[in-house]
Amino acid sequence: MTGRNETHRVARALPAVLAAGVLALATGCGADFAPVELTTTGRPAAPLGQVVDLELSLPALLIQGTTERGVTLDLVLEIEGEGFGRLDARAVPGQARWGTGVAPVEMLSDGRTTVTITPDRWATGRIGPLRIGQTVFEVAVDGEPAGGGWSVRGRSWESQSGVFGSFAGWRRQRFLVTTTDFFAGGEVAEVAWVRGREIRVSGRLERVSPDPFLRRSGRAVFVLNRFSFDNVQRLDPTAAFATAWQRGLGARANPHDALELPDGRVLVTRYEPPYDDVAVLDGRSGANLGAIPLEQEAQNPDGTPRPDRMVAAGGVVFVGLQDIDRTFGRYEEGKLAVIDPLLEAVVGIVPLGGKNPGSMEARTGADGRERIWVALGGIFPGVLPQELSGGVVVVDVVNRAVERLALDDDDLGGNVGALALASERLGYVVVSDAAFENRVVAFDPERGEILRTVRQTRDFVPELEIGGSGILAVPDRAFAAPGLCLYRVPSDPAGEELPLGCAALPLSPFSVEALD
């Protein structure tokens, strides 16, 4: 940390593309671009839920006048909400299989049912009526969750005979991805780890800009269409991630992050002058409610704070300020602005001791203390020579001060980009050296030890994401075969990541968020 004076595979952005992006920011090109208004759903977005795949084994079922034995029935449950309790759900039938036979299953109702989830029970209400040929019946399941709630097993029941069978269920681990051609436009896709054994891709869910940053905040999903597009979309998970609303943020606003507050307001960082602030929007409609100015917190001569990522912790919001001038020729010390969401005002500043804060994560440790992990990028080679003035720092939320340097970019041998934490003893960062060689590096956040290189590539790795089931998603920008690669994170930090496979995407992955 010196120099403080002055997607199916991994990811790639050629150095020329990176340099062009920096020049575009410096010159303000495209600021008069007016994005095409998207068709919206016309209703507020529903919150994120969960998806569970069920496989019911029925001892026997009368089909077309014949009693077929050993019938397997596939169902998908789209559950509204998370956590414990009695949740509403909708069942979508798949196929029935027996011996050499197979037939589609038809739902004769709207599929509405309920799911009761407790620490030791997982049960549905009656599902149906279902029909196979001329056979009409209902089903239900009752079992016990396992694997932290990511799988469930128990007994199944069908109304035709009243005989009990068995069932297995798997909650999907879903990742939403924005993809881009870096010129004309982008798209939203979903990559899911299904039934604990296969990758499934749902592509072209919604249109976005060529510069689309994706953000999940709580149970809300946003796309920040950044430089020269200057708008934010809120996506609706129950409408296949169609746009619920789209809101322009002002020419040259260049939004970088979105965070939903418990009361439904949404904060959006506006990176470029003349804004230099955090916009406040209505989460249901996208209506503009005001702004929280940040110019006074900048120390560079142009007074441009460059607000980037945000995290909520300790009842306040921490906003990363990169503090870079208009030409990207002068970088001041990075800092966190502390915003009181009730006052909508800055109530503190946390100097970070390095430059260019980017990815941030808030976590509560085993000691019960809340901390924020901040990736400091330093200066990437381009307009200026490479400078290693960053790493990963840990901020104490209560004291609002840097607690320690968890990882030094001098030891890593390159600039730190993306950051993702699996546990107190295992985290991952992307490291880029002066030759634009990129490595996904595993490290011990508690001891500050570099553990191993998970992946190495000439392709730029824009983000890392870890889902709740312990799957690491790594975008791959390989020109010939872009995609998203999934790895099983080891339970023992000294172990190795298990490659699960790579999902092919039609365009280069730009941003990824875990939905579960």
Sheet of 415-423: strand order equals 415-423, 426-432, 438-444, 449-457
pLDDT at 119: 96
pLDDT tens-digit profile of 76-119? 999 999 999 999 999 999 999 999 999 999 999 999 999 999 99
pLDDT at 142 over 90: yes
Distance from C-alpha of 145 to C-alpha of 126, rounded to nearest angstrom: 19
DSSP string, 119-135: TTEEEE--EEEEEETTE
Find the range with the poorest average confidence among 11-20, 272-281, 288-297, 334-343.
11-20
Tokens of 464: 């890392």
Contact yes or no for 7/509 (Cβ under 8 A) = yes
Q: What is the mean pLDDT of the segment spanning 481-502?
A: 97
Reduce the DSSP state of residue 501 to 3 states and report it: strand
Contact at 8 Å (CB) between 439 and 455?
yes
Give tens-digit pLDDT for 214-249. Answer: 999 999 999 999 989 999 999 999 999 999 999 999
Average pLDDT, the chain: 92
Which helix (DSSP H) or strand (DSSP E) does residue 480 occupy?
A: none
CB 214 within 8 A of CB 222: yes
Helix, strand, coil in percent for the chain, rounding step 5: 5, 55, 40
Cα–Cα distance, 433 to 444 (Å, whole number)? 21
The enclosing H or E element of 223 equals: strand 220-225
Cα–Cα distance for residue pair 237/219, rounded to 1 Å? 9
Query: What secondary structure letter does DSSP report for 35?
Result: P
Tell me the C-alpha distance between 339 and 351, whole Å. Answer: 15
295, pLDDT greater than 60: yes
CA-CA distance, 45 to 64, in Å (whole number)?
43
Helix (H, G, I), strand (E, B) or coil at 230: coil
Question: What's the pLDDT at 4?
Answer: 33
User: SS3 string of 366-397?
Assistant: CCCCEEEEEEECCECCCCCCCECCCEEEEEEC
Tokens 């569970």 belong to which residue?
Answer: 52
pLDDT grade for 22, boundaries at 50, 70 and 90: very low
Q: Is the pLDDT of residue 396 over 60?
A: yes
pLDDT over 90 for what percent of the chain? 90
Q: In angstroms, rounded to a whole number, what is the distance separating the alpha carbons of residues 161 and 363?
A: 50
DSSP state for residue 299 in the 8-state scheme: -
Q: What's the N-to-C CA distance of the chain in angstroms?
A: 35
For 5-18, what is each residue's pLDDT tens digit? 333 222 222 233 33
The alpha carbon of 473 is separated from its chain's Cα centroid by a whole number of angstroms, namely: 10
pLDDT grade for 35, boundaries at 50, 70 and 90: low
For residues 488 and 497, the answer to whether their CB atoms sit within 8 Å is yes
Give the pLDDT of residue 37. 75
List all residues 6 or more positions away from 97 whose beta carbon is below 8 Å from its beta carbon: 71, 72
pLDDT at 290 over 70: yes
d(Cα 1, Cα 17) in Å, to the nearest integer?
26
What is the rounded distance in angstroms from the CA atom of residue 135 to the CA atom of residue 98?
Answer: 15
Does the pLDDT at position 355 exceed 90?
Answer: yes
Mean pLDDT along residues 204-209: 96
| R_g over Cα of the chain | 24
Q: Residue 252 is encoded by which pair of tokens?
A: 């040259």
Residue 64: per-residue pLDDT = 84
Q: What is the mean pLDDT of residues 443-471?
A: 97
pLDDT at site 38: 83
Taking residues 384-413, report their average pLDDT: 97
C-alpha distances out from residue 263 to 289, 302, 452, Å: 13, 35, 42
* Mean pLDDT, range 186-213, rounded to an integer: 96
Tally of CA atoms within 13 A in the half-sphere of 189 that contains its CB? 29
Report yes or no: 283 and 263 within 8 Å, Cβ to Cβ. no
Q: CA 314, CA 135: separation in Å to the nearest integer? A: 56
Q: Given the structure tokens 């969960």, which residue do they identify?
A: 50
Beta bridge partners of 178: 188, 511
